[in-house]
Amino acid sequence: MSLGQRLAQLAVSLQEPQRVASFQRLCGVEAPLGSPAADKDAETEVRGAAGDPRRRGPQSGAERNPSPAKPDCCGAPNGVRNGLAADPGPAGPRRAGSLRRNSLTGEEGEPVIVNNWPLYYLFCFGTELGNELFYIFFFPFWIWNLDPFVGRRLVIIWVLVMYLGQCTKDIIRWPRPASPPVVKLEVFYNSEYSMPSTHAMSGTAIPISLVLLTYGRWQYPLVYGLVLIPCWTSLVCISRVYMGMHSILDVIAGFLYTILILLILYPLVDLIDSFNQTYKHAPLIIIGFHLVLGILSFTLDTWSTSRGDTAEILGSGAGIACGSHAAQQLGLLFDPPLHTLPLAIPPLTVTLLGKAILRVVIGMVCVLIVRDIMKKIAIPLSCKLFSIPCDDIRQARQHMEVELPYRYLTYGMVGFSTTLLIPYIFSFIGIS
């Protein structure tokens, strides 16, 4: 057998949903009796005992996921829609009920039994490191409290890595691991395709970039960074398998894809950031470039949550870049002179901690207000401009003419406020 054949066989093996299900059982996740996943596990065990050859070798594509690909922009997700399990009866404290609900598709999680709660909460935390709630806190925190220089560059890398990952999903179009046998602990991203895992890409890009951008700029032992990278990356990657959202192959591909992107992209980050800060017409180019990327991504496939997420990512990146440009021109943004590097980490005092907490509280309140106002303006305005019925917001948002401007404008203003409006407020009240 040639090396190529062996690699192909390994890839097929790593894509098997049964491997995901086995890992979930190892971590204490079970489907309640009577649910489709539990019935599938029992059927598989019976076949294995009878010497069924499918028990011992990789399954065919149809056996891996018998569900069809998503049929249209308003239909079911991509063939791995969760079926609600039958009533499992009392499961005591081990039962975790229907988990996160997808407000855009109406899909709900299936009841599951969790036997290892520490692992459950650990992997829930790991998967949140790739969700909107984390991003909307993490990047502003760096810009407001730690180092705007690092924060801006982190956003540049994150935007490009996530954009390439989301577009690659819609080009390859591989479905999520089949359920059953996999138990879906999360359904919010179930309408998206699976390959590669963008959670794994984000969980790889952020810690590696963080260490590359801060080491030598700040004084700290390199060993801290070398410990942070594998811990962060492995936690995010493993959590996606635990949640039943990705195969092992998906997360490995996401990790390797990110390394390749960073090798090409990272040497250009300084040039991109300098252009954003100093070029006179940079805001026009930034807005236009990110908008074109958004339009291209919306033409790759039918509707899924990945399209809105892509527009949200691009809007955030454009808003932060434009806000940074304006802040630089107005003198609100200062990077320390090169001769002062590396920067010493200041001692933690009550005053320093109090100002940091105050900036976070005031800043996040402003971010949430801006986001809420823009949501209430952008969706009805888009529906009116393009003559799309706005009675059902969920259906309206599945049109590109609504989803793209809504996400792009809303999160563009959030990003702009993060780097211009809110730092101005900090300066005005004396906590800059």
Read off the tokens for 295.
């339009």
290 counts as catalytic: no
CB within 8 A of 152, min separation 6: which ones?
143, 273, 276, 320, 321, 324, 419
Tell me how crowded residue 103 is: count the other CB atoms within 10 A of its CB.
Answer: 11
Could you give the CA distance from residue 20 to residue 242 in angstroms, rounded to a whole number? 7
Given 246, 290, 325, 399, the catalytic residue? 246
Residue 406 · residue 378 · CB < 8 Å: yes
Could you give the CA distance from residue 148 to residue 1 in angstroms, rounded to a whole number? 53
Cα distances (angstroms) measured from residue 217 to each of 57, 156, 162: 51, 18, 26
Task: Specify the long-range contacts of residues 146-152, CB closer than 8 Å, at least 24 apart.
Answer: 147/214, 147/217, 147/218, 147/343, 148/324, 148/333, 148/335, 148/419, 149/213, 149/217, 149/335, 150/210, 150/213, 150/214, 150/217, 152/273, 152/276, 152/320, 152/321, 152/324, 152/419
199 counts as catalytic: yes
Alpha-helical runs (H) found in 16-60:
17-26, 36-49
Residue 191 · residue 70 · CB < 8 Å: yes
Given 199, 290, 325, 399, the catalytic residue? 199
Q: Which residues are catalytic?
A: 199, 246
